[in-house]
């Protein structure tokens, strides 16, 4: 399996839905078993809700803040963040060039610590 950021970004925004009226700000690169890899590139506002699986965000470009369970973290390219399943999180005050790889994996509800 292989994916390139350039090809994936050409597919964002994705499908327009009630949840994503401006089009989905993410695209799936590939999946295997419980693992999936996506690119996430919201514009203006991050309206995502908690996910059923654990996830990792690998910041590719841009700067801003990631709020995880109410705690603010500054981010910039090269950083990685873990967010456990069902934990409230969102990106705020991010630059217009913000792009992150996202990896979801494991059982619904997350893995045990």
**Residue range(s) defining the domain that contains residue 28:** 5-12+24-105
Query: Residue 111: inside a domain, yes or no?
Result: no
Does the pLDDT value for residue 100 go beyond 80? yes
21-49: pLDDT as tens digits: 889 999 999 999 999 999 999 999 999 99
Query: Residue 49: inside a domain, yes or no?
Result: yes
Query: Residue 17: inside a domain, yes or no?
Result: no
pLDDT at 93: 97
Query: Residue 39: inside a domain, yes or no?
Result: yes
pLDDT at 19: 87
Query: Residue 18: inside a domain, yes or no?
Result: no
Environment class of 68 (CB within 10 Å of its CB; exposed 0-12, middle 13-18, buried 19+)? middle
Query: Residue 60: inside a domain, yes or no?
Result: yes
Q: How far apart are CA 87 and CA 42, in angstroms?
A: 19
Q: How many folded domains does the chain comprise? A: 1
Report the CATH number at residue 101: 2.60.120.10
């Amino acid at each position: 399996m292989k994916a390139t950021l350039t090809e994936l970004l050409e597919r964002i925004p994705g499908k327009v839905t009630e949840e994503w009226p401006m089009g989905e700000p993410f695209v799936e690169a590939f999946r295997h078993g419980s693992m999936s890899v996506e690119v996430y590139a919201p514009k203006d506002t991050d309206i995502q809700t908690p996910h059923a699986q654990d996830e990792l965000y690998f910041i590719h470009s841009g700067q801003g803040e990631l709020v995880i369970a109410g705690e603010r973290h500054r981010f910039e390219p090269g950083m990685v963040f873990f967010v456990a399943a069902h934990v409230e999180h969102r990106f705020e005050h991010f630059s217009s060039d913000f792009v992150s790889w996202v990896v979801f994996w494991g059982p619904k509800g997350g893995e045990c610590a």
